[in-house]
Amino acid sequence: MSPQSADNKPRETKHIATISLGVMGAGFLATLPFAPHTAGAFLQSGFEAGLVGGLADWFAVTALFRHPLGIPIPHTALLPNNRAQLTNAVVNAVEENLLGKESIALRIGQMRLVEMMLAKAEEALQSEGAREAVGNACRYALERLPVEKTAAFAAQQVRRAAGEINPEAAIALVVDQVLTHGYEEPAFDFLIDRAERWAVRADTRHMLGEIAEGVIQGIEMNGLMQFAKNAFLGFMSGERLGALLQNALLDNLAAMRLNGHRNREALLGMIRQELTNMKENERLHAGIAAFVRELPDKLQLEERLEKLISGWRDRLLLELQDGRLLDDTIMPLLEEGIRKLRSDEATIHKLEEWLKMQITEFVERNHSKIGALVRENVDKMDNAMLTEFIENKVGKDLQWIRVNGAVCGFVIGLGLEGIRMLFG
């Protein structure tokens, strides 16, 4: 029903009430000439009572809104004369009865708000409109991502984290992990392997021979010993000396590959001791701390992060444009997140309690504004506007009181006249 047709209803009812009153008056006048104890007199009693009832109810209804016939009769125009009391009554009714804090809180407590919201969200995600909305939101966020500020913030967090690193604890953790899992042994075997690769080379043999020959030649001897040294050097050339040393070195390296070999265990013991000593090496701690602090600057962290974030953003925008990112990642993640949340009763309960508490606190803080808003809207209307407003809202029913008064008066008048004629 349109507002205009709704506004016309009270007017139509008012016309009906006026017509009913006119009918009663006309009927009364038309039956005046009839003699007593006739059918005309019988009807006259009904019309007379209907006229009295209609006039009385017209007076009562009119007196609510204005002075009947403009005459300032006491206790009429009740609405304009008692406007303040009416406003207070309406405000109190709204605040205490219709929209009381307790009733609002009770109603909110009966609702499962989070479940309703999640169910609606899960249903909405299946629509093409939701897919488009999520895509637009992601595109908007990516296109307006402040790359420089994001990179600066990330670099700041990295620097802060680097500054909070405890070198002593970090070194102790690394050493303990190495010794607990025996990582020093594979590292030792790796060094043995590299040493063997170096020792087996021809240039290594040549270098070892030159070193040995030089050392022997550098020994100062006299007489017979000098003769013996020269004879030895004449027999053992640098190449032969290098081959002897190379073979000896390779044999020792091969022996140190064997678990339990004394040289292997001795070297591993030394390595473990040095690793343990690193925990107390303050110079090492200070050096690592300085290195960690300087590392972001040496890496030009901000510039690297800017390029990295910018590349990620461009790649995500391309995947978003062709739909892959939405269909393969974002929408499934949202749907899976909602499903998991709906199955998590504990989290749902916490969210329900939090949301209801927020709504209740909001109602507590702003409940008085409901009454203030009602009062403000009522105060905006002058007496004429307020009267017209109430007449339009409840006038239809009030006008039917007039109709009922006339009809009921007519029926009662007929009944009383019938009784009088029966016993008169």
For the record, the structure tokens of 247 come out as 């073979």
Which two structure tokens, joined as six digits, stand for 399? 């006008």
Q: DSSP 3-state assignment of 90?
A: helix
Ranked by mean pLDDT, the top range of 93-102, 217-226, 330-339, 412-421 is 330-339
Average pLDDT over residues 101-119: 79
pTM, entire model:
0.49
pLDDT at residue 3 above 60? no
What integer pLDDT is reported at residue 188 of this predicted model? 92
Q: What is the mean pLDDT of the chain?
A: 80
Determine how many CB atoms are found less than 10 A away from the CB of residue 420.
13
Distance between CA 229 and CA 231 in Å, rounded? 5
Cβ-based neighbour number of residue 275 at 10 Å: 17
Alpha carbons 171 and 276: distance in angstroms, whole number: 10
- The predicted model gives 314-323 an average pLDDT of 89
Q: Which of 404, 374, 367, 424 is nearest to 101 (CA)?
A: 367
Q: Is the pLDDT of residue 422 over 90?
A: no
CA distance 223 to 216: 16
> What is the pLDDT, as a whole number, of residue 149?
92
Q: Going by C-beta distance under 8 Å and a sequence separation of 6 or more, which residues neighbour residue 63?
A: 73, 75, 76, 77, 78
Is the CB of residue 76 less than 8 Å from the CB of residue 63?
A: yes
CA distances from 276 to 269, 347, 393 (A): 11, 47, 91
140 or 25: which leads in pLDDT: 140
Helix spans in 182-326 (H): 184-199, 202-217, 224-235, 238-255, 262-278, 282-298, 301-321, 324-325
pLDDT of 1 reads 46
Phi, psi (rounded to 5 degrees) for 221 = -135, 160
Confidence of residue 110 (pLDDT cuts 50, 70, 90): confident
Strands (E), 318-397: none
Residues 6 or more apart whose Cβ sits within 8 Å of residue 148: 306
| Predicted confidence (pLDDT) at residue 56 exceeds the cutoff of 90 | no
pLDDT in tens, 19-37: 777 887 787 788 777 756 6
Mean pLDDT throughout 207-225?
68
Place of tokens 């890496």: 299
Q: Cβ(249)–Cβ(199) under 8 Å? A: yes
Residue with tokens 């042994």: 185
Task: Give the integer Cα–Cα distance in Å for 63 and 220.
Answer: 143
Which 3 state secondary structure label does DSSP give 279? coil
Which of 28-32, 133-137, 186-190, 383-387 has the lowest average pLDDT? 383-387
The whole-angstrom separation of Cα 168 and Cα 128 is 56
328: part of which helix (H) or strand (E)? none
Banded pLDDT at 228 (limits 50, 70, 90): low
pLDDT of residue 361: 80
Distance (Å, rounded) from C-alpha 84 to C-alpha 352? 41
The CA angle 210-211-213, to the nearest 5 degrees, is 65
Single-letter amino acid, residue 360: T
Averaged pLDDT for residues 262-285: 90
Grouping H, G, I as helix, E, B as strand and the rest as coil, residue 51 is helix
Tokens 């995500």 map to which residue?
A: 316
| pLDDT at residue 234, as a whole number | 55
Reported as a single tens digit per residue, the pLDDT across 165-197 is 888 888 899 999 999 999 899 999 999 999 999
Percent of the chain topping pLDDT 70? 78
Distance CA 382, CA 354 (A): 44
Q: What is the CA radius of gyration of the chain?
A: 53
Residues 6+ apart with CB under 8 A from 16: 399, 403
**What average pLDDT does range 375-400 have in this prediction?**
69
DSSP 8-class letter at 35: P
